[in-house]
Amino acid sequence: TGDLPAETPTISHEQYLALNELLKKKHNPALLPIQIAYFAGLRIGEVCGLTWQDIDQGTMPHHSPEYAV
């Protein structure tokens, strides 16, 4: 096993917002997986492996503009 870095680099909220706007403008299909990763605290590989059975619809927001794509 390899040693893990002391801290995994993450993006700031401002960097996320800038990335989000860029992807929206370009109609990039990576937008939704990146939003899921950011808000759920998942790595992109974990997002790629999600299935509908992983989604708890009882706790999902219903009409929140924050999650609108």
Give the pLDDT score at 61: 56
Give the pLDDT score at 22: 97
> Distances from the Cα of 31 to the Cαs of 1, 21, 24, 51, in angstroms?
33, 9, 7, 17
Q: What is the pTM of this model?
A: 0.67
Q: Encoding tokens for residue 45?
A: 């590989």
**8 Å CB contact between 33 and 44:** yes
Question: In this predicted model, which residue has the larger pLDDT, 64 or 20?
Answer: 20
Q: Using 50, 70 and 90 to split pLDDT, how confident is the model at 64?
A: very low
How does pLDDT run across 6-58, given as a tens digit for each residue?
A: 787 889 999 999 999 999 999 999 999 999 999 998 988 999 999 888 877 67
SS3 state at 10: coil
